Structure 1
Amino acid sequence: MANGDFRLCDVVLDDSIGRATPDVEHERAVAIFDLIEENRFEPIGHAGGPYRLNIALVDHKLVLTIRTEEGGAVSTHILSLTPFRRIIKDYFMICESYYEAIRTSTPSQIEAIDMGRRGIHNEGSETLQDRLKGKIGIDFDTARRLFTLVCVLYWRG
């Protein structure tokens, strides 16, 4: 184990709730690729990774299980989804509008919807950072990619 290596080397979404639409699965694949390429992930009180992260939904709660690259247990965090419900609902609504706009709207209309989509996504990312404060240190870009994965899981569930 490389001491002080605070990053994710693997991310797995729980598959027990099935697959989603091709658009959602594409979002998942891109978010995982981007997340592994560049992230800061620091479980508080642990000497260092890299880490493997399993993300699941269990009884309407977000479960983050962290292991070392070799598979050693680090920690599990269970978060209520209540603070995310409105944000995720709004995000799904604006994503549907965005995908529809891509087919029928002008570039300026698409850009306006995309700005709204990014704003809601940022709000979800900040909420995730706040909920993980004192448990896992993450930067904003890592929070954005993780929030995308939370949305994908929620969409499937």
Structure 2
Amino acid sequence: MSGAGSDTSRLIDVELDESVGRATPDIEHERAVAIFDLVEENCFHPVGDDKGGPYKLRLSLVDSRLVFAISRGDGEAVVTHILSLTPFRRIVKDYFLICESYYDAIRSSTPSQIEAIDMGRRGLHNEGSQTLMDRLNGKIDIDFDTARRLFTLVCVLHWRG
């Protein structure tokens, strides 16, 4: 893979399938921030693609599977990877529950309570990010920060779906 964030190994656009509907304002905010951060800084390269990017990514859910449709900046299709959501179900469910607790806490809890919930939230997020990296191993080379942002988007899709 080329250097981290190089023009040939990076995403320049990320799109979520909007057909699964809209989510709560908090979740939509997470989506917007994750996409912005992901496009600003990422390391992303489909394994075996010698032509290089930059790339566009369309994430969607089809028949309870996560679809990564990757194209070049000019729209030329590169590859589509389809992943089972099964390895993510428990993590996403737990992450969603702790996020609800976190959003409730920031409205009414003490800073120490918020911090404790946030530590648990970050731990689950890291676990989901590592699971995503493991599932993409041999398919798409990504770094951990990119995996974290992508995992947020996986959660958004799952919550909507």
TM-score, normalised with respect to structure 2: 0.94
- Say whether residues 1:40 and 2:27 are aligned partners: no
Match of 1:105, as an amino acid? S
CA distance in 1, matches of 2:100, 2:12: 31
Per-residue deviation, residues 90-146 of structure 1 (Å, max 9, x unmatched): 000100110111111110010000000000000000000000000000000000000
The structure 2 residue matched to 1:96, chosen from 89, 100, 103, is 100
- Deviation of 1:78 after TM superposition, in Å, equals 0.3
Partner of 2:69 in structure 1? 65
CA distance in 2, matches of 1:8, 1:90: 28
The structure 1 residue matched to 2:142, chosen from 130, 133, 138, is 138
Pair 103,4 (structure 1): closer, same or farther in 2 beyond 3 Å = closer
CA distance in 1, matches of 2:31, 2:7: 28
List aligned pairs for 1:6-17, cutoff 5 A: 6-17=9-20
SS in 2 for 1:16: helix
Deviates more, 1:98-107 or 1:135-144: 98-107
SS in 1 for 2:59: strand
- For structure 2, the 5+ residue unaligned runs are 1-5
TM-score, normalised with respect to structure 1: 0.97
SS in 2 for 1:46: coil
- Say whether residues 1:124 and 2:124 are aligned partners: no
- Deviation of 1:4 after TM superposition, in Å, equals 6.7
CA distance in 2, matches of 1:127, 1:111: 24
Pair 86,69 (structure 1): closer, same or farther in 2 beyond 3 Å = same
Match of 2:93, as an amino acid? K
CA distance in 2, matches of 1:37, 1:136: 19
- Say whether residues 1:20 and 2:31 are aligned partners: no
Partner of 2:110 in structure 1? 106
Aligned pairs, number:
155
- For structure 1, the 5+ residue unaligned runs are none
CA distance in 1, matches of 2:116, 2:39: 30
Match of 2:155, as an amino acid? C
Runs of 4 or more, structure 1, over 3 Å off, are none
Please report the RMSD computed on the Cα atoms of aligned residues, expressed in angstroms.
1.0
Match of 2:48, as an amino acid? G
Percent identity of equivalent pairs: 75
